[in-house]
Structure 1
Amino acid sequence: MPLISGAQKRFKEGQLVRVKGPAVIRVEEGSVYGLGLELTKGKAIKVPKGRVYVFKVLKDATLRVNLGSEGSLESPKLEEEAIDLWRQRIEEILSLRRDRQLKKIVVLVLGPTDSGKSTFSTFLINESLRRGLKAAVIDADIGQADVGPPTTVSLAFPQNPITSLRDLEPEHLAFIGAIAPEGSEGYIVHSVYEFVKRALEKADIVIINTDGWVKGLKALRFKLDIIRAVKPQVIAAMTKGQDLEPLLNSLSRLPQIKVVRIDTPPAMYERSRAERRMLRSQNYLRYFIDSTVRSIDASSTPILNSFLFSGEELREDLEFLEKILDMKVIYAEKSSIHLIVVTSERASITSTIVNLLREKFHTYFVRIVRKGFEKGILVGLLDSELRERGLGIIEDIDYHRKVLKVRTPYEGPIGGLVLGRIRLGSDFQETVVVEGAFF
Structure 2
Amino acid sequence: MTDVTQINESSTKTLEKHQELRYEIEFDQQGWMRLVEGTAECFGTELLLNKIYKLTSTKGAVFTWTGCKIEITNNCSPYIGDKTPMQKYSAVFQEIENSRSNNFDPNQSGPRVMIVGPTDSGKSSVSKILLAYSSRLGYEPLFIDLDPGQNSVTIPGTISASHIQSPIDIEEGLSSFVPLAHFYGHASLDVNPELFKALVRNLAAFVDKQMLASETTRMSGFVVNTCGWIDGLGYKVLLDNIEAFRINMIIVMDNEKLFSDLNSHFQQQQIKILKLPKSGGVFLRTPIFRKKTRMLKIKEYFNGVNDSLSPHYIYLDFKDVSIFRTGGGPVAPASALPIGQQSSIDPLAISEVYPSIDMCHSIVAISYAKQPQHIFSTNVAGFLYINDIDMETKKITVISPAPGPIPSRYLLIGTLKWTPN
**TM-score of the superposition, structure 2-length normalised?**
0.75
**Pair 1:27–1:304, CA change in 2 (3 A):** closer
- Secondary structure class of the residue paired with 2:189: coil
2:2 is the counterpart of 1:10 = no
Instruction: For 2:296 and 2:369, locate their aligned partners in 1 and report how far apart those are by CA, in whole Å.
Output: 30
Matched, 1:140 2:146: yes
Instruction: Name the CA distance, whole Å, in 2 between partners of 1:296 and 1:42.
Output: 48
Other-structure match for 2:351: none
Count matched residues. Answer: 357
Shift of 1:40: 6.2
Indicate the residue corresponding to 1:407 in structure 2.
399
Matched, 1:196 2:207: yes
Instruction: Sort the Cα spacing of 1:123 and 1:306 in 2 relative to 1 into closer, same or farther, 3 A.
Output: closer
SS in 1 for 2:64: strand
Q: Which moved more, 1:49-58 or 1:257-266?
A: 49-58
Asked if structure 1 preserves the Cα contact closer than 8 Å seen for 2:154 and 2:179, the reply is no
Give how far 1:54 is off. 4.2
Match of 2:343 in 1: none
Offset from partner CA, 1:199-255 (integer Å, 9 cap, x none)? 4244222111111111x220100001111111112112212x345235422245144
Shift of 1:409: 2.8
Distance in structure 1 (CA, Å) of the matches to 2:326 and 2:227? 27
SS at match of 1:303: strand
**Structure 1 CA distance for aligned equivalents of residues 70 and 321 of structure 2:** 56
Highest RCO, 1 vs 2 (Cα 8 Å, sep ≥ 6): 2
Structure-2 residue corresponding to 1:185: 193
Aligned to 1:391: 383
Aligned AA (1:236): I
Amino acid aligned to 1:412: I
In structure 2, give the amino acid aligned to 1:8: T
Over the matched positions of the two proteins, sequence identity in percent amounts to 23
- Tell me how far apart the structure 2 counterparts of residues 409 and 19 of structure 1 sit (CA, whole Å): 33
Distance 1:186 1:219, change over 3 A: same
The whole-number CA distance in structure 2 between the counterparts of 1:41 and 1:397 is 50
Taking the aligned partners of 2:399 and 2:81, their CA distance within structure 1 comes to: 47
**1:104 is aligned with what amino acid?**
G
Q: Equivalent residue for 2:245?
A: 230
Q: 1:264 to 1:30 in 2, by over 3 A?
A: same
Q: CA RMSD in A?
A: 3.0
Between the aligned partners of 1:9 and 1:235, the Cα distance in structure 2 is 36
The whole-number CA distance in structure 2 between the counterparts of 1:185 and 1:169 is 27
Q: Is residue 15–residue 64 contact of structure 2 (8 Å, CA) maintained in 1?
A: no
Aligned to 2:272: 258
Residues 234, 392 of structure 1: alpha-carbon distance in 2 compared, 3 angstrom cutoff: same
Any gaps of 5 or more consecutive residues in structure 1? 309-337, 339-368, 428-439
Tell me whether 1:372 sits opposite 2:357 in the alignment.
yes
The DSSP-based 3-state class of the residue aligned with 1:225 is helix
Distance 1:48 1:186, change over 3 A: farther
Q: How many Å separate the matches in 2 of 1:142 and 1:210?
A: 9
Name which one, 1 or 2, has greater alpha-carbon Rg.
1
Task: Please give the per-residue CA displacement for 1:112-139, whole angstroms capped at 9, x wherever unaligned.
Answer: 1111111111101111012211122122
Q: Which moved more, 1:401-410 or 1:172-181?
A: 401-410
Q: Are residues 1:273 and 2:267 paired?
A: no
